[in-house]
Structure 1
Amino acid sequence: MRATAKRERPALTCNWADIEHSLDTHGHAVLPRLLNAEQCEALAALYAKDDAYRSRIVMARHGFGQGEYKYFAYPLPPVIDQLRHELYRGLAPIANHWNQQLGIDVQYPDELDAFLQRCQDAGQTRPTPLMLHYTEGGYNCLHRDLYGEHVFPLQATILLSRPDKDFVGGEFVMTELSARSQRVEVVQLRQGDAVVFAVNERPVMGKRGTRKGAMRHGVSRIQCGERYTAGLIFHDAQ
């Protein structure tokens, strides 16, 4: 059963027009300084508290890469719960526009709780926000985060560690494959930055109209140090 934590973060002040333009153009958008250093350190410290999570995944056991991640249990930590609700609210109109462009007959409600009720009614009741931890040699294979019938087409990752201080390497990587092109992009993030990106497919505008771009994301190999990130997925899992 999903529970709601007391929220402890003010409303986001994002330029959603710029975010939508970047998502439409590149398949991702960077939200700079979404969290400050203190908030990042507090979230990273949660990784050691097993009672905050419903499960732990060792990536090598499943062929996912090298490293591990943990899915939060409900109720989510307040900052994660707040960000999940507020980012969804800004992203839902973009997701609806994408589905219209792709000819997908699914529209998302304005508020996250209504969408999570849709997931719950379909048996998707397990929370999907997570924390990821990599050490030297760690990486994440290219993948998609789907989890069930109901999928929100955008998600976010927040970098909690400091590049070139806490770790070296470990860049966020995206690939896009469509009928006429393929593309690889490395997204540079600083501590506290978030990247919002396509989960699975996105509309790609071309000379002959809109086509589907198949998106995958991953993390390049960590050369040294430790890298922590928080992931915000808006649909729950079966």
Structure 2
Amino acid sequence: MPGHPRPQPVSPPAPASSGGDRIAAYDWEGLAQELDDYGCAVLGGLLSPEECRGIADLYDQERHFRSHIHMARHGFGRGEYRYFAYPLPALIGELRTALYPRLAATANAWNERMGIQEAYPAAHADFLKACHAAGQNRPTPLLLQYGPGDFNCLHQDLYGDLAFPIQVAILLSQPGRDFTGGEFVLTEQRPRMQSRVEVVPLRQGDAVAFAVHNRPVQGSRGSYRVNLRHGVSRVRSGHRHTVGLIFHDAR
């Protein structure tokens, strides 16, 4: 664990008019350091409360989605989610496109440190072309809904041979008002050591970028890989909505 104090979530002054503008307003050097140190980084205030409510309200409008998953049927936990269909809602698509190149720099640095011979292109459109050429054509951004007693088991969102190693989740509901419980949880399995748990506090509109599968950690003899999983603890009351931005498409 690094010896310096953990920085606070990095926030832009206020949500900008477009997804690209607001993503550019963050301190990406600081966020990249957070990802390196802890496997996750919080982008405070990415969405306004009005934007959060507008996206959450899409959940019951089936025309926006390609499929509907009930977690309990598959052993994923309790709760449900819907995968967006193409074309994505404008703001969701803008954020996915704008976030990708910022995160690709970290993803490429991680692969180099872990000895993985794979480089992610600078533009998200080029990465999606590679996914589609590999038969991964289905969009993966999703909208999740939890009620009392619901939870999401620890898991990894991979979906195919091509998988981008960083993902972003945006909390749409207000903790303490709309729901209680339901904390975002990240676990890190370290070789020959006990697992490390990270509980990430989020406010409405905050986003967390996090490692999906593996990331490098600096040891006394160089970098080594750790394996990560993420989930959501039990919602104790109310309802919790979240957007998940996954950057690869699925089979």
TM over 0.5: yes
Are the aligned partners of 1:8 and 1:78 in contact in 2 as well (CA < 8 Å)?
Answer: no
Consecutive unaligned residues of structure 1, counting only runs of 5 or more, are: 1-6
Post-superposition shift, 1:209? Answer: 1.2
Tell whether 2:159 aligns with 1:147: yes
How far, CA to CA, are the matches of 1:166 and 1:207 in structure 2?
A: 45
Q: Which of 106, 112, 121 lines up with 1:109 in the alignment?
A: 121
Letter in 2 for 1:85: T
Q: Deviations over 1:70-128 (max 9, x none)?
A: 00000000000000000001111111000000100000111100000000000000000
How far, CA to CA, are the matches of 2:200 and 2:60 in structure 1?
A: 27
Tell whether 2:87 aligns with 1:79: no
The equivalent residue for 2:187 is 175
Tell whether 2:213 aligns with 1:200: yes
How far, CA to CA, are the matches of 2:147 and 2:236 in structure 1?
A: 8
The equivalent residue for 2:34 is 22
Residues 97 and 9 of structure 1, relative CA distance in 2, 3 Å threshold:
closer
Post-superposition shift, 1:35? Answer: 0.4
Letter in 2 for 1:197: F
How far, CA to CA, are the matches of 1:79 and 1:37 in structure 2?
A: 14
Post-superposition shift, 1:172? Answer: 0.1
The equivalent residue for 1:3 is none
Letter in 2 for 1:162: Q
RMSD: 1.0
Q: For 1:87-236, what aligned pairs fall within 5 Å after superposition? A: 87-181=99-193, 182-236=195-249
Post-superposition shift, 1:9? Answer: 3.7
Are the aligned partners of 1:58 and 1:68 in contact in 2 as well (CA < 8 Å)?
Answer: yes
Are the aligned partners of 1:176 and 1:183 in contact in 2 as well (CA < 8 Å)?
Answer: yes
How far, CA to CA, are the matches of 2:18 and 2:35 in structure 1?
A: 28
Letter in 1 for 2:55: L
- SS at structure 1 position matched to 2:241: strand
How far, CA to CA, are the matches of 1:61 and 1:45 in structure 2?
A: 24
Residues 10 and 151 of structure 1, relative CA distance in 2, 3 Å threshold:
closer
Consecutive unaligned residues of structure 2, counting only runs of 5 or more, are: 1-16
Letter in 2 for 1:76: L
Letter in 2 for 1:44: A
How far, CA to CA, are the matches of 1:118 and 1:160 in structure 2?
A: 31
The equivalent residue for 1:237 is 250
Q: Deviations over 1:138-167 (max 9, x none)?
A: 000000000000011000000000000000
Are the aligned partners of 1:175 and 1:184 in contact in 2 as well (CA < 8 Å)?
Answer: yes
- Give the total of aligned pairs: 232
- SS at structure 2 position matched to 1:35: coil
